[in-house]
């Protein structure tokens, strides 16, 4: 393992730069030449590959986003596209890859290894925290704190105007952001893809709250909930309770940006080093993660296919705390 390359792919997340920094400096520490690939698999196909030095990653640990940029690549889903990517890696004599991303990134890397034998170790870079094989993903802690900060402000105006706020957070297939936001933000209701919360349940909870003289409510909704978006859910509840004074806030991509928290910087640094170590150990198609405070390597196929379940007691916690 003489030369490796690092790239980021899929949705960006706070802490990706800290992970890039750790990969670059860990490689240099181990006497390995390290290259950066801009714009993920697209950059690999287009040959956007460049040598990185220790100074390349100076003063980036505190920055959100990714200095290597990120992009989704339709061309990489084709055999021809992957052949171009392989040819460009071989032109630079690159022996292994570090991929910072989520399940789509690892799916592509897994196929790439099967076809061309280029070993890849992954770091879980996604705010959704939905990857099997790690307790936390890079960017998750920052995203949750960003969302809670917004919810705290919304609760102030909800209380002042005695309104119901329907707040949508990210999580297309996962409620991992919504749950801590609901608990930490003092929400009365949380709606996530993993559990069914009907409009009838929402209506009953609101009416019960009003009967106990509650005057304002916060409903946290993961964007992938089966009842629809926050706008759609608010409209359905409004139809059942015409007197309700409701507002909708969609936090959106603000959750992906911003300076990473200390926890995310620590996690990203630890996993970046672990990725380089994994390549040096001869590992391939595995994701570095932290489970019960221990470093583990999980096969890509498991991170892609196995479900990372949410503790059901968390939803019960919200019911207890909103009484």
DSSP notation for 153-195:
HHHHHHHHHT-EEEEEE--SS--TTHHHHHHHTT-SEEE-TTS
pTM as predicted: 0.95
**Which residues belong to the active site?**
128
pLDDT one-digit tens code per residue, 22-52: 999 999 999 999 999 999 999 999 999 999 9
Q: Report the chain's mean pLDDT, rounded to a whole number.
A: 96
Q: How much is the pLDDT for 313?
A: 84
State residue 260's pLDDT score: 98
Which residues does residue 229 pair with via DSSP β-bridges, in sequence order? none
Please compute the mean of the pLDDT values over residues 105-129 and round it to a whole number.
97
pLDDT of res. 207: 96
- All structural domains of the chain: 3-139+260-305 (3.40.50.450), 141-256 (3.40.50.460)
State the helix-helix crossing angle for 140-161 and 262-280, rounded to 10 degrees.
Answer: 160
For residue 309, pLDDT over 90 is answered with no
188 among annotated binding-site residues: yes
The 10s digit of each residue's pLDDT in 190-243 is 999 998 999 999 999 999 999 999 999 999 999 999 999 999 999 999 999 999
Partnered with residue 97 across adjacent β-strands are 5, 120
Residue 126, annotated as binding a ligand: yes
pLDDT at 171 over 90: no
Is 23 known as a binding-site position? yes
- Residue 323 reports pLDDT greater than 90: no
């Amino acid at each position: 393992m003489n030369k490796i390359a690092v790239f980021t792919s899929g949705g960006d997340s706070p802490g990706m730069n800290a992970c890039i920094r750790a990969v670059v400096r860990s490689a240099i520490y181990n006497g390995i030449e390290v290259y950066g690939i801009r714009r993920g698999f697209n950059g690999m196909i287009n040959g956007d590959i460049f040598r990185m030095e220790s100074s390349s990653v100076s003063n980036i640990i505190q920055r959100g986003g990714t200095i290597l940029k990120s992009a989704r690549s339709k061309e990489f889903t084709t055999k021809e596209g992957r052949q171009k990517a392989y040819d460009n890696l071989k032109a630079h004599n690159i022996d292994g890859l570090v991929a910072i991303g989520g399940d789509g990134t690892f799916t592509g890397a897994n196929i790439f290894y099967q076809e061309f034998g280029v070993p890849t170790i992954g770091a879980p870079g996604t705010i959704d925290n939905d990857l099997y094989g790690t307790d936390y993903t890079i960017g998750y802690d920052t995203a949750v704190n960003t969302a809670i900060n917004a919810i705290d402000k919304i609760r102030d105006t909800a209380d002042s105007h005695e309104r119901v706020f329907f707040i949508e957070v990210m999580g297309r297939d996962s409620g991992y952001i919504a749950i801590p936001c609901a608990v930490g933000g003092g929400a009365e209701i949380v709606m996530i893809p993993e559990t069914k919360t009907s409009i009838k349940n929402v209506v009953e909870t609101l009416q019960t709250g009003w009967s106990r003289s509650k005057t304002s409510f916060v409903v946290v909704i993961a964007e992938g909930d089966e009842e629809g978006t926050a706008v759609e859910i608010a409209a359905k509840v409004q139809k059942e309770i015409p007197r309700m004074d409701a507002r909708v806030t969609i936090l959106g991509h603000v959750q992906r940006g911003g300076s990473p928290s200390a926890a995310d910087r620590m996690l990203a640094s630890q996993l970046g080093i672990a990725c380089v170590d994994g390549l040096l150990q001869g590992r391939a198609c595995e994701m570095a993660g932290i489970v019960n405070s221990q470093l583990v390597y999980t096969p890509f196929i498991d991170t892609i296919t196995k479900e990372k379940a949410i503790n059901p007691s968390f939803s019960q916690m919200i019911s207890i705390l909103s009484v």
